[in-house]
Structure 1
Amino acid sequence: MTDRGILSSLRYLLADFIGEDDDEPPFLPEGLPEPVMAVASEAIHLLIDYQGPSYARLYVDRLRRFIGKRGVDDVMLGDIARLMAVRMSYEDPIRIAQLKLAELSGPPGASAGSVDVKKFRLEELVGALPAVIAEYVLDALEWVGCTHIRVSIRFSTASRVGIRRLKIEAGLRRWRLLSVRYAKERVWVERWLHMIDRSLTKQLHAAPAIIQTATMIEGYGDVYRQGMADWNAIIDGLVKPTFDGVLALSDLAGAITEARAAALPDPRQAALKRKIAEIRARASADANV
C-alpha cells in the first residue's frame, strides 16, 4: 500500500475519534446507461454497508473508467458493475459478523437466534489484522508451517454474549483498509480491470469471458484459496501472454472457457496445468503452420 493509501486509511480509521464523518454517499457516475443504474445503485448501498461511503466512491471511480468505452455495451458494463461489487465485498470474518448481525434486524420474533460455525485458514484470520502486525505474524506462522491450519469460529445470535462478540467483530471493519487481505484484494481487482481493459484493445470478443473469471473467486478458506490460484494460473498462463504477444491465441475466450472447465478442487492444479500446457502447445503449433 502506498504512503498516501496508508494515510487515507488511517484517517478513515480515526474518523470517529477526530470528529469527522466519512463524507456523503457517492452519486452514480455521469453517463451510466439506464439498464446499469439499478445494479450500480445496489452496489453502492452494499459497499457503504460493507465499508463506508469512501469505499463506495472507489467503486464508482473504477466503474467510471468503462463508461462510454469502445466495445463496452450495457450488458458488459452491467456485468462489470455487478461482479466488481461482489469482489469488493469479499467474505472475511468481519463481513460474516456483519451479515449475522443483520439477521437481528428482521421482524420481531422472526428468529430465535442461531449459531453458524465457519472454518478459516489461520492465515486468513491473521490477514484481517493491520499489515504492520499481520506480516510479522504470518512470517512466523509460515516459518513453522502453520498457515494452513483450519480454525473454527462461532458466529452466534443465540445469546447476549454471542451478539456482543459479533458487534466487536463487525466493528473491526475500520481496520480492514489496513489489512493484508485488503491490500491483496485491491491488487486483484485492479488486475482484473486491467485485463478487461487490455482485452478491449487486443481481443474485444474475449472481454466477456475475462469479466466472468471473477466468478472463480468466492467465499473463504480453501474454496477461496483454490479459486484465486486457478484464476492466476489462467491469467498468467493464457491471458497475459496473449496480450503481450508471446502467445498466439486467436480465440482467447474459447481458451479461457476450456481452461476453466479443467479447474478442479485440487491444490496441485494438475488437470488445470495440463490443460493450459495443452492449449499453449496447440497455439504454438497453429502459429507455425
Structure 2
Amino acid sequence: MSERPIGIAILAMGGEGGGVLADWIVDLAEHEGYPAQTTSVPGVAQRTGATIYYVEFHPHAVDVHDRVHEPILSLVPTPGDVDIVLASELMEMGRAIQRGLVTPDRTTLIASTHRVYSMTEKTSMSDGRVDPLPFVVQAEKAAKHFVHADFAQIAEHNGSVISAALFGALAGANALPFSREQFEAAIKRAGVGVQSSLNAFAAGFETAVRSNGDTAQPKARISSDATPARGSQPFDIGATNHPEIVTLDRRIQSEFPTEIADILHRAVRRLADYQDVSYAHDYLDRLKPLRAVDDAATYAVRGDALLLAEAARHLALWMSYEDTVRVAELKIRATRFARVRDEVKAAPGQLLHINEFLHPRLEEIADTLPAALGRWLLKPGALRSMVERMTSRGRIVRTTSLRGFLMLYGVASLRGMRRRSLRYQREHAEIDAWLARTLRYAIHDYPLALEIARSQRLVKGYGDTHARGMRNYRKIEAVMSLVARTASPGARLKSLCEAALADEEGTRLDTLLDDLRRSEGESNTRTGQESANVASATLSSATH
C-alpha cells in the first residue's frame, strides 16, 4: 500500500528568500532519495509581492506489490491536506489559516511573529495597525503544533535572511524524517552565504527545540505596538552623548516626574534633530505650566502624570511637523540610502538609483518662505498664477544623482530660517492656543483637558493630509464651548475626534457636529421658554 506524500506550503513575500527555502527542502529530500518537486504561485499583496511556494515529496513510492514507481505529486496545496506551513510574517500566517491550509489534525505551523504593515494600516488616518494577538490565539487553535517567534529578528542578528531561520525552525520542529546534519548539508550544497545561513539556521533550530521541549512554557505574548515598522532609524543627534543633549537630560531629571522621563528623553532628541537644541529647550519650557497643573490635579493623589504625558507626546509630534524642509532632509540622509540598499538587497558593487516623486503645492512653497513673502505669494495675482502653473504637475527627482541630491540639499539647508517661515508662525500659533485650552480646562474638567491634549492626533503629515486634518481640528475647536456644556464633555470630544479619523471626507464628523448644534439650539429654546414662563407667572402674580 502506497504512503501519502508530505506537503509543505511556504508563504513569503518578495526578498525574503521563499524560493531559496523551497529549493533547500527539495534538495534535502532528493539527496536522501525521496522524489520531490516544488511549484510557486505568485500573487500581489499591498506590502510587496506575496508568493505561495509548495513543496511535495513522497517518502515511499511503492505499489501493492512493493514495487517502486514514479509518484504523482500535486502542484498546489489543498485545504485540509497540508502537513507543514511556513509563514514569513504574521499576516501571511493568517492568510494560510483563512485558506484552510492549517488544520488541527495534521498541520505543523511555523510562523514569524514580526509585522510588515499593509498599505491599509499605513495610510489609516488613525492608528490602523491590526492587533496581532487574535492571529496568535487562532493559530494555537488551528494547528496541531505551533512554533512561533520573531524569526526575522533572529535572521538579522545573524547576518542572514528569514528563510535560513525558518529552515532551522523546520529542522527543530522535528516534523520531517531528517536529521539536523542533513538539513545543514543542504545549505552547504547551495554554496551561497553558507556561514551566515548556518548561523541563522542554528538560532532558528534552537528556538523550535525550546518550543517542542517546554510544553509548560507560557505562550509568547505579542503587543500590537511591540514591533515597530522595519527600517526605522534613530535620530542622528540621539546616537551620541552630545554635551547639550546631556544638559537636556539633566533638566528633565530635575524638573519633571520620572513617570514621563522616557517620553521626554525621546522628544528632546527628536526636536534637536528636527531643528536645534534651543528648540528642544523651548519644548520643555512649554510643558512646565502644564506640569504644575497636573501635579495639583492628579499627581499627588494618583501618583501618575497622565495629562502631562499625553501633552508631552503630542507636543513633540506637533513641534516636529513635516514641512518641505524636513521631507527633503530625510530623503537625502545616509541612513535612508543604506536602508534602501538593504531593502532591495543590492550587492556592494551594484549601482542603485532612487527616484522620488515630489509634488509641492503652492501653499507648501509659500509656507517655506519668510512669513511676509509667503503671504504675498498666496495673494491672488500674476505671481501666484505663474507658480501654480509651474507646480501643477509633480516631478521625479533622482536623489542618487548629483543634481537631484543638491536640489534637495538646498531645500534642507533652509532649516536655519524655519523659525521665520510662514508655516512656523501658523503652526506655533495653533500650538500655543492648544496648550492654553488644555491648561484652561485642566483645573475644572480633567477628562476634557485630557481629550483636548489628545486631539492633536488629528494634525499630521503634510500636503493634503495635513490640510484635511487641520480642517477637521478647527471644526472641533470652533464648537469647544458647546462640548464643554454637554453632560460628558470628555467623552463627547473623544467621539468627535474618532469621527474625524473615520473617513477622509469628514462626513461622519459633520453629522455629529450638526447633532451637537441642534441639541444646543433645542436646549436654548427650552431655556428661553422656561424663562418666558417664569416671567409670565411673575407678572400674573404681581397683577393679582
Return the TM-score normalized by structure 2.
0.44
Secondary structure of 2:360 counterpart: strand
- 2:417 matched residue in structure 1: 175
Q: Any idea what the Cα deviations from partners look like across 1:117-139, whole Å, max 9, x if unmatched?
A: 24333111221111121111111
- 2:453 matched residue in structure 1: 211
Task: Return the alpha-carbon distance in structure 1 between the equivalents of residues 388 and 363 of structure 2.
Answer: 5
Task: Return the alpha-carbon distance in structure 1 between the equivalents of residues 289 and 447 of structure 2.
Answer: 19
**What is the CA-CA distance between 1:271 and the residue it aligns to?**
4.3
Q: 1:89 aligns with which of 320, 324, 328?
A: 320
Task: Return the alpha-carbon distance in structure 1 between the equivalents of residues 455 and 439 of structure 2.
Answer: 14
Unaligned runs of 5+ in 1: 1-22
Contact conserved, 2:451 with 2:493, CA < 8 A, in 1?
yes
Q: Does 27-36 or 122-131 show the bigger shift?
A: 27-36
**What is the CA-CA distance between 1:150 and the residue it aligns to?**
5.1
Task: Return the alpha-carbon distance in structure 2 between the equivalents of residues 242 and 258 of structure 1.
Answer: 11
Higher helix share: 1
Question: For 1:75-86, what aligned pairs fall within 5 Å after superposition?
Answer: 75-86=306-317
Contact conserved, 1:121 with 1:151, CA < 8 A, in 2?
no
Task: Return the alpha-carbon distance in structure 1 between the equivalents of residues 429 and 461 of structure 2.
Answer: 18
Letter in 2 for 1:71: A
Task: Return the alpha-carbon distance in structure 1 between the equivalents of residues 488 and 386 of structure 2.
Answer: 41
- 1:113 to 1:197, Cα distance in 2 relative to 1, 3 A: farther
Q: Any idea what the Cα deviations from partners look like across 1:72-127, whole Å, max 9, x if unmatched?
A: 54232222111111111111110011111224477696474523324333111221
* Bigger Rg over Cα: 2
Question: For 1:1-289, what aligned pairs fall within 5 Å after superposition?
Answer: 24=244, 27=248, 28-29=251-252, 30-69=254-293, 70-71=296-297, 73-104=304-335, 110=342, 112=352, 114-140=354-380, 152=394, 154=396, 156-237=398-479, 239-242=480-483, 248-263=485-500, 264-266=503-505, 269=506, 271-283=508-520, 285=522, 288=526
Letter in 2 for 1:190: D
Task: Return the alpha-carbon distance in structure 2 between the equivalents of residues 83 and 275 of structure 1.
Answer: 25
Unaligned runs of 5+ in 2: 1-242, 299-303, 347-351, 528-544
Task: Return the alpha-carbon distance in structure 1 between the equivalents of residues 258 and 392 of structure 2.
Answer: 45
Task: Return the alpha-carbon distance in structure 2 between the equivalents of residues 260 and 128 of structure 1.
Answer: 29
**What is the CA-CA distance between 1:278 and the residue it aligns to?**
0.8
- 1:154 to 1:92, Cα distance in 2 relative to 1, 3 A: farther
**Which structure's relative contact order is higher, taking Cα pairs within 8 Å and 6+ residues apart?**
1
Secondary structure of 1:59 counterpart: helix
Task: Return the alpha-carbon distance in structure 1 between the equivalents of residues 335 and 511 of structure 2.
Answer: 48
Secondary structure of 1:116 counterpart: strand
Task: Return the alpha-carbon distance in structure 2 between the equivalents of residues 146 and 164 of structure 1.
Answer: 22
- 1:218 to 1:153, Cα distance in 2 relative to 1, 3 A: farther
Letter in 2 for 1:75: L
Return the TM-score normalized by structure 1.
0.78
Task: Return the alpha-carbon distance in structure 1 between the equivalents of residues 318 and 397 of structure 2.
Answer: 22
Contact conserved, 1:92 with 1:128, CA < 8 A, in 2?
yes
Q: How many residues align?
A: 260
- 1:241 to 1:282, Cα distance in 2 relative to 1, 3 A: closer
Letter in 2 for 1:125: I
Identical positions, percent: 25
**What is the CA-CA distance between 1:262 and the residue it aligns to?**
3.3
**What is the CA-CA distance between 1:226 and the residue it aligns to?**
1.0
Letter in 1 for 2:407: R
Q: Any idea what the Cα deviations from partners look like across 1:218-268, whole Å, max 9, x if unmatched?
A: 11111111110110110111x14455xxxx2231122212223433322xx
- 1:6 matched residue in structure 2: none
